[in-house]
Copies of this chain bind each other. A is one copy, B any other.
Amino acid sequence: MAMKTRTIIYSIKQGIKGSWRNRMMSIASITSIASVLMILGIVFMIVININSFSEITKGQFDTIQLDLEDDLSDGDMQNIGKSVKSIDGVKSVYFLSKEKALDNMKKKWGENGYLLEGLQKNPLPNSYVVELMDMRYADEVVKRVKGLQGLEEVRYYKDLVEKILKITDFIRLAGLIVIGVLILISMFVVANTIKLTVIARKKEIGIMKYVGATNWFIRCPFMIEGMILGVMGSAIAIGVISFGYKYVFDLITQKVYVMIAVYMVPAPVFIKSIAIIIAVLGIGIGVLGSIISMRKFLRV
C-alpha cells in the first residue's frame, strides 16, 4: 500500500509538472476542451429553453372542463366538485361561475370583447375546471367523470394537447439526440487533442517503458494531466456559459419582451445544472481521453 501511495503522489507531481512544462500544448488542449463544452452549453441552453417553453405552453391546456347543467342547486354542484376531486389523478378542481367565465372571455377577446355586449343572456354554463396530475390520467378521469349526474358536457382539449405533447416529445428527443451527438463529438475532439499530445510525447513514453515502468506508472501522470486540463477547460466553459446566460436572460427580461422570460429557465437553475454537466463531462473527457489515446503507445 505504501508503494501505491508513493506512486499516486509521484503521479500528481508529475502531472502538474507535465502540464506546466508543456504549457503551449496544455493551453491548446484546455481551449479545445473549453470550446467544445461551451458549444455543448449553448446547445443545451437552446434545447432546455425550447423544452421549457413547450412545457409551460402545454400546462395551459392541461385541464378538463366540466360544464354543469343550468338548473343545479348549490349543494348538487358542491357534491359534483367533491366527487371529481376524489378521482385518482385529479390534482385540483375549481369552480368557474358563468359570470366569471363570460368576464374571462371578454378579457381574452380584447378588442373584440365588445361583441359579447350584444348577447341577450349569458350563454355560458357554470363549470368545474379540473387540473390533472399528469396527462396520462386524462382518459381515465374523463371516463369516470362522464358517469356523474348533472353534467351537460365534458370539454377536454385532447387533440390540441396531444399535438403539443407530440411536439414536446419530438423536441425533447431531438434535443437529447443533438446533445448525445455533441458529447460524442466533444469526446472525439478532446481525445484527438490528447492523442496528439501523446503522439508528441510518444518517444517519452517509449523511453519510460525501456526503463522498466509499468503501464499504470506511465498512465497515471498523463491521466492527472488530462484531469487538470479537463478541470481548467470546464472552469472556463462554466464561467463563460453562466455569465453569458445570465446576460442574455437579463437582456431579455429588461429589453426585449418580459413575457418571454416567463418561458425561460431561470438563470440560477440553468447555471447549476449546466455547471454540474460541464464539470462531469470535462473531467471525464480529460481522464478518458488520456486513457483511450495512450492505449496504442503502451505496447512497446
Contact = CB atoms under 8 A, between A and B. Distances in A.
A36 B40 CA distance: 11
A16 to B, nearest CB: 20
Nearest to A42: B178
A257 interface: yes
Interface in A4-21: none
Interface string A174-189: 1000100110011011
A193 B121 CA distance: 76
A87 interface: no
Interface class of chain A by DSSP: helix
A52 interface: no
Each complex incorporates copies of this chain amounting to 2
A54 interface: no
Contacts of A166: 256-257
Interface in A22-69: 24-25, 28-29, 31-32, 35-36, 38-39, 42-43, 46
A155 interface: yes
Given A111-B155, A119-B119, A174-B248, A189 B32 contact: yes
Contacts of A174: 248
> Which residue, A112, A114, A189, has most C-beta atoms of chain B within 10 A?
A189
14 contacts: A24-B199, A28-B196, A31-B192, A32-B188, A32-B193, A43-B43, A46-B46, A111-B155, A119-B119, A163-B257, A166-B257, A167-B260, A189-B189, A196-B197
